[in-house]
Amino acid sequence: MSDGNGTTQFAISPLKRRTMLRGAVAGIALMAFGGGLVRQANAQEATPKKGGTLNMAYTSGTVRESLDPARASMGNDTIYCAHIYDRLIRLENGFAISNQLAENYSSNEAGSAWTFVLREGLSFSDGTPLTTADVAYSFARVLDPATASPSQASLAQTLDPQGIQVVDDRTITFNLQEPNSQFPLQIATRNFAIVKKGTSEFTVETAIGSGPFRLTSFAPGESWEMVRNEHYWRPNLPYLDGIRQVNIVESATLIQSLLSGNSNVIGQVGPAQAQLIEASDKAHVAVSENSAFMYVVMDLTQAPFDDPRVVRAIKLAVDRQALLNVVFQGYGTLTSDVHIWPGHPTYPENLGIRAQDLAQAKALLEEAGHPNGIELELFTSPSLSGMVELATAFAEIVRPAGINVTIRQENAGTYWSQIWQVKPMYVSYSQARPPVTMLSNLYATKPAFAETKLNNPEIDRILGDVRTSLDVDKQNALLRKAWQIVADESGSSVAFSLNVLWGMSNNIRDVRTHSGDNLQFHDAYFV
């Protein structure tokens, strides 16, 4: 959030009694991640008009897809769930918070109780009223381990079902287990979308939300289609009649669908594909900067990565700039094994960018009992653009250190169900999230996503102190300490943050990107 003088706020200011109206942040952290309008070429001003169905082709379709927003975690389901369902509040430009279903919200002096007031006259896409009973039910579902929500573990540390208090049809209070300045940031994410009370199975018929569109067809891993929600709470929106999406795995076919006009938007595209698109007069590349991370995971509980010397040797063997150049042609920002980047107020002051040191890497391997080098298997998948290329380039770059990597490639369904969080070493992907969320999801002792399985209780203590602190500078100092632990001890080899690239026809406007949701077409229109 800008203070009007170009200054950006990055943490929570003291929690006094306050109300947030019309998307005002009023002290909630803006973490300087990407968001808002995607950067588009040829994006001249135009008058919005209604009509037209947007055709989208996407490369990530997996058997993990679900119409249940509480379980959404993959690339494709984050897109359609964000259009079917709305939340109380959501993350917008640079992690500023805007109101969706909530008209306003406030906290008590301690930040231990947060009260939300719904807009008047809200309804679901089937015309039935949306009340705080639906809100309470939706949050209780996230808290229920049986739902298997990725946000269950982190929310359960903050809230239990008994703390959800329905005051009236429009007012609900969340009485937290302890003060938490980060609570609005936590629940502004995709898993906290509001569903109808009593919904337990999510099909085309029962996936009913209050978002700008309603679902009409769904084939997991293949396609989906939705049409305008005539009961949407934002007057005269959406402009589009509907959205159709198909999954296209082959890169050449994906590009051809855009350039031929069969698709209006394609994603996610790689740098080589981006060059083909930019050479066309029918489409352009839209850029969402610092929006994601693609990285190599080493499970610290499995050999040989249970030896920290091996892990550090591998991190030191990486030439970060070379990896970024080879895989993404420089579309990104270098970082040093953390899910944050230099310049961010929570990036450790003395971390810098870790340089490749082959001699030290070899010495560490020898010390760990591998004087002749080490043999490793690295799993990857064409599930997302760049995953196979990253694995291949990584293997080539670390080989001079005596790290001999064999690439194992699996299809998307197998990868995300049997490789991710299971095998000792694999390529992973994460969208950018606020530091507290990212640290909780990946590096707490009971994380939502058990990738490296770092077990350092100090990170839990830091996160607890951040949530209860009312001092901005203290929060940032604590988070820098946490990221330093991650850089030193985790099994994440994170070389860069990514600029996510999309192919977009020249006749579409006001496509937006939001943290954790990929693209948004709430305000999009054709010209």
Give the pLDDT score at 331.
85
Per the structure, the complete domain to which residue 463 belongs is given by: 289-499
Residue 465 included in any domain: yes
Q: Is the pLDDT of residue 356 over 70?
A: yes
Give the pLDDT score at 47.
87
Question: What is the CATH classification number for the domain harbouring 454?
Answer: 3.10.105.10
| Residues in Cβ contact with 375 at an 8 Å cutoff, skipping those fewer than 6 apart | 404, 406
Residue 185 included in any domain: no
Give the pLDDT score at 304.
98
Give the pLDDT score at 429.
92
| Residues in Cβ contact with 213 at an 8 Å cutoff, skipping those fewer than 6 apart | 83, 84, 226, 227, 228, 229, 238, 242, 243
Residue-wise pLDDT tens digits, 269-284: 888 888 899 899 999 9
Rounded to whole angstroms, the Cα distance separating 495 from 386 reads 14
With a pLDDT cut of 90, the percent of the chain lying above it is 66
**Which segment, 2-16, 387-401, 444-458, is predicted with the most confidence on average?**
387-401
Whether residue 414 contacts residue 328, with contact meaning beta carbons closer than 8 Å, is answered with: no
Give the pLDDT score at 1.
25
Torsions phi, psi for 396 (to 5 deg): -70, -40
Whether residue 353 contacts residue 319, with contact meaning beta carbons closer than 8 Å, is answered with: no
Strands 332-334 and 496-505: antiparallel
Q: What's the total number of domains in the chain? A: 1
Q: Is the pLDDT of residue 131 over 90?
A: yes
Give the pLDDT score at 22.
26
Q: Is the pLDDT of residue 53 over 70?
A: yes
With a pLDDT cut of 70, the percent of the chain lying above it is 88
- Where do we find the tokens 């080879």? 326
Residue 433 included in any domain: yes
Residue 395 included in any domain: yes
**Residue that wins the pLDDT comparison between 8 and 495:** 495
Residue 99 included in any domain: no
Q: Would you tell me how many other CB atoms lie within 10 Å of the CB of residue 42?
A: 12
* SS3 state at 25: coil
Residue 427 included in any domain: yes
Residue-wise pLDDT tens digits, 228-263: 999 999 999 999 999 999 988 788 899 999 999 999
Give the pLDDT score at 52.
97
Please report, for residues 36, 92, 212, the alpha-carbon distance to residue 27 in angstroms, rounded to integers and kept in the order given.
Answer: 19, 15, 28
Residue-wise pLDDT tens digits, 188-237: 988 999 999 999 999 999 999 999 999 999 988 889 999 999 999 999 99
Residue 488 included in any domain: yes
Rounded to whole angstroms, the Cα distance separating 508 from 526 reads 5
Q: What average pLDDT does range 133-146 have in this prediction? A: 97
Rounded to whole angstroms, the Cα distance separating 58 from 223 reads 9
Q: Per DSSP, what are the bridge partners of residue 285?
A: 503
Rounded to whole angstroms, the Cα distance separating 396 from 403 reads 9
Q: Is the pLDDT of residue 107 over 80?
A: yes
- For residue 143, name the pLDDT band (cuts at 50, 70, 90): very high
Residue-wise pLDDT tens digits, 507-521: 999 998 765 556 889
Give the pLDDT score at 10.
27
Q: What average pLDDT does range 454-465 have in this prediction? A: 94
Which of 194, 164, 19, 21 lies closest to 103 in space, CA to CA? 21
Residue-wise pLDDT tens digits, 389-417: 999 999 999 999 999 999 999 998 899 99
Rounded to whole angstroms, the Cα distance separating 17 from 107 reads 6
Number of helices followed by number of strands (H, E) in the chain: 14, 23
* Cα-based angle 280, 281, 284 (whole degrees, multiple of 5): 70
Give the pLDDT score at 269.
83
- For residue 377, name the pLDDT band (cuts at 50, 70, 90): very high
- For residue 78, name the pLDDT band (cuts at 50, 70, 90): confident
Rounded to whole angstroms, the Cα distance separating 326 from 315 reads 18
Residue 376 included in any domain: yes
Give the pLDDT score at 44.
53
pTM of the predicted structure, to 2 decimals: 0.74
Q: What average pLDDT does range 449-463 have in this prediction? A: 94
Torsion angle of C-alpha atoms 346, 348, 352, 353, degrees rounded to 10? -70
Torsions phi, psi for 228 (to 5 deg): -55, 135
